[in-house]
Structure 1
Amino acid sequence: MTKEDTASRLKTAAHWYAELREPDADHRTWDAFRAWEGSDPANRAAFRQVEASLSVLEGSSLAAPGAGTGYDSSDTYTADRKPRRARLYWLTGIAAVLMLAVVSVVTLNPPAAPAVQVYATAIGDTRDVTLEDGSHVTLNTDTELAVTYSRSERRIQLAHGQALFSVMKGTRPFIVAAGGSETRALGTRFEVYRGPDDVSVTLVEGSVSVLPERAGQGEPETRLGGARAGTVLVPGDRLVLRGGAIQSLSQVDTSEALAWQTGILQFRDVTLAEAVTELNRYSDTKIRVDDPALAAEHLSGAFPAGDQEMFAETLKLFLPVEIRRRGNEILVEPAGGA
């Protein structure tokens, strides 16, 4: 509620307080008051606040002349009492003072910001986390995210890395923000990977809406009812975004996409360069392929995440390569300098 809303509600409450204290208040006045009070719990709270404060003031030296002591007062008002309008002005002015007091308290003691929980994994590690609403998150290697739950939403900020979300249904939207995109869900299972250059969202179950900062590939931004509309995914969809714009939407095998949970990386017709980039996420030992032609070779297979030595040795079964080790690097080169 804004300051203006608070001031307006207290002013109306003060007006009703004055109306009900007038000797000529009849059943129609009371019926109208009860309709206003019952239309919103905040109205009732505002009236009680005015009632409690003004009932104290009316018994003090600050009271307006002619003030009574309650709704049912049968006191006889003298001819020299202030006009009714003056009484209303007095009560309304007191309500304004109350409003300033309320606003001052809110300003000096603002509501505490929602607590932020940060979760992270080191290179080669994974971690399972159960959130306060029962939702479940599995963090993959070298991942960091921050969780903030407020009254209006459940928000995850993915700083880097990859996480699988199993969202508990609820009335508040579950939002994962990453690299200029927001993925919204109420009850579903999906994965978000934020890499150095792009963000990918893979839907496993249910439905999510992915909202990029801007429409991709030169297409106009989609709007529904004047509001920005996201891309709705179906199970098996993988949406890739770069620079806040949609790059591609494709279907993937979700069992292969989530194989990292078992410690296995599944590759299907990817380049050696792509496979190496993925493998290097799981180990401090980095594989290097400097030869462009070799890096462009395609491969498929399943490999243990983080076992760089095994991958390098396995490559020799499929490609004419030589393996050299230098510190924390494994160099993969064409055999015989070819």
Structure 2
Amino acid sequence: MIEQRRNPFQNNQLHREATEWFVKMRGDEAESHRPDFERWLARGALHRTAYNRIANLYSAGKRVDWDNLPPARPVRGAAKRLWMTGIGAAAIVGFVAWRTVAVPMLPNDSGIHSASIEATRNLGAVQYATRLGEIRTVKLQDGSTLIIDTDTLVTVDFSETIRRLRLEHGRARFEVAHEARPFIVDAGEVAVLARGTVFDIAYVNGQEVQVHLIRGAVDVMRRGGARGAEATRLNPGEGLLYDGGATPRLSPPQAEPADEWPTGMVEFRKAPLSDVIAQMNRYAVTKVRLADPTLGTIEVSGVFRIDDPEALSVNLAQLLGLEIQRASGEIILTRRMK
């Protein structure tokens, strides 16, 4: 029997926690709360779903003209539900507005430093998240397409003058619609400016940021640098890695198309088995482990479905002459017994 005091759903506790986190992440001190916020989201899909519901309800409430609503014509049995929904949206809008305006916040300059780009704040921001193993496609209000990889969180914050997004963690592909407003994506210490282009950004370990351009052109620069700092222009096929060093590392254009991870397929070319396992585990609830670390140096080539770790483990075992063992909730690849 579950103890009620430990039940996260008792008395709408999960709903209240999601509301509190929504308020904190709307404020200027959001960065100081981010580690705890991401740990809260990582507790499970229900937490991410609760947070998205609060964000969507708040966004819907902002679009309602409360002073010019038409006369209510409730259908029997639905009046109470409609009334409660309206009150809920109004309460969240009012609560967030009070916390944002009335409670003092410390200033925090996290914008990209450029003479033509100014950071703007739009209270209608929405966040999209995926669970382990999920790849999700979202159509944004400007016509752009956002493809979100496994275990990823993206904040979308559009205003009348700028389209701003933030990759909180994970990986995403951005297919940008043509229009006048700049399209900027922040990830860690990096900002990417693009118009009418397709590119990937990965930010999976809290430090390294990888940018890969598929089509068009993007400018990449460090956030928080000196005003007027020079940006790096990428050409199709090029990639850029920020790993905490003084200068980013540029990879040459690729002769072949970028991997098709949005379809769940990834091509490996003489990749160490340890790298393949690391990518596979990003999608896996049941993790895969090598019994002998020296197996990690085995080279792997081929196109595999990365979002099905169970099937990929079987394929790798057959391809490399390994055996599969299962113990303590994990899949173990080991050398075949002679």
TM-score range, shorter chain: 0.5 to 0.7
Question: Which residue type is aligned with residue 276 of structure 1?
Answer: I
> Contact conserved, 2:273 with 2:299, CA < 8 A, in 1?
yes
Secondary structure in 1 matching 2:318: helix
Is 1:137 aligned with 2:138? no
Question: Which residue type is aligned with residue 201 of structure 1?
Answer: V
With over 3 angstroms needed to count, the CA separation of the structure-2 counterparts of 1:312 and 1:127, relative to structure 1, is: closer
Of 254, 257, 260 in structure 2, the residue corresponding to residue 255 of structure 1 is 257
| 1:56-90 alpha-carbon deviations (Å, 9 max, x no partner) | xxxxxxxxxxxxxxxxxxxxxxxxxxxxxxxxxxx
Secondary structure in 1 matching 2:282: helix
Q: CA deviation at 1:152?
A: 3.3
Distance 2:140 2:223 in 1: 27
Distance 2:235 2:221 in 1: 15
> Contact conserved, 1:157 with 1:178, CA < 8 A, in 2?
yes
Give the number of aligned pairs. 219
| 1:277-330 alpha-carbon deviations (Å, 9 max, x no partner) | 111111201111252321111111112223223222222333242221113311
With over 3 angstroms needed to count, the CA separation of the structure-2 counterparts of 1:187 and 1:284, relative to structure 1, is: same
Of 246, 249, 262 in structure 1, the residue corresponding to residue 248 of structure 2 is 246
> TM-score, with normalisation over the residues of structure 2?
0.59
Question: Which residue type is aligned with residue 222 of structure 2?
Answer: P
Gap runs ≥5 in structure 1: 1-106, 215-220
What is the RMSD computed on CA atoms of the aligned residues? 2.6
Q: CA deviation at 1:115?
A: 1.2
Is 1:176 aligned with 2:179? no
2:95 corresponding residue in structure 1: none
1:331 corresponding residue in structure 2: 332
Secondary structure in 2 matching 1:282: coil
Q: CA deviation at 1:163?
A: 1.0
2:302 corresponding residue in structure 1: 301
| Equivalence map 1:126-205=2 (5 Å) | 126-196=135-205, 197-205=207-215
| Equivalence map 1:6-155=2 (5 Å) | 113-155=122-164
Secondary structure in 2 matching 1:168: coil
Secondary structure in 1 matching 2:271: strand
Question: Which residue type is aligned with residue 213 of structure 2?
Answer: L
Secondary structure in 1 matching 2:300: strand
> TM-score, with normalisation over the residues of structure 1?
0.59
Identity %: 34
Distance 1:208 1:164 in 2: 13
With over 3 angstroms needed to count, the CA separation of the structure-2 counterparts of 1:306 and 1:133, relative to structure 1, is: closer
Secondary structure in 2 matching 1:251: coil
Secondary structure in 1 matching 2:177: coil
Distance 2:185 2:142 in 1: 15
With over 3 angstroms needed to count, the CA separation of the structure-2 counterparts of 1:194 and 1:112, relative to structure 1, is: closer
> Contact conserved, 1:280 with 1:306, CA < 8 A, in 2?
no
Is 1:211 aligned with 2:221? yes
Q: CA deviation at 1:173?
A: 1.3
Q: CA deviation at 1:150?
A: 2.2
For structure 1, which segment, 155-164 or 112-121, has the greater mean C-alpha deviation from structure 2 after superposition? 112-121
Distance 2:298 2:223 in 1: 35
Question: Which residue type is aligned with residue 207 of structure 1?
Answer: A
With over 3 angstroms needed to count, the CA separation of the structure-2 counterparts of 1:327 and 1:183, relative to structure 1, is: same
1:273 corresponding residue in structure 2: 274
Secondary structure in 1 matching 2:277: helix
Distance 1:210 1:309 in 2: 37
With over 3 angstroms needed to count, the CA separation of the structure-2 counterparts of 1:256 and 1:236, relative to structure 1, is: closer
| 1:174-226 alpha-carbon deviations (Å, 9 max, x no partner) | 11111210010122111111111421111111100111359xxxxxx9x9xx7
Secondary structure in 2 matching 1:227: coil
Question: Which residue type is aligned with residue 249 of structure 1?
Answer: S
Secondary structure in 1 matching 2:317: helix
1:312 corresponding residue in structure 2: 313
With over 3 angstroms needed to count, the CA separation of the structure-2 counterparts of 1:156 and 1:280, relative to structure 1, is: same
Distance 2:121 2:274 in 1: 48
Q: CA deviation at 1:227?
A: 1.0
Distance 1:329 1:322 in 2: 14
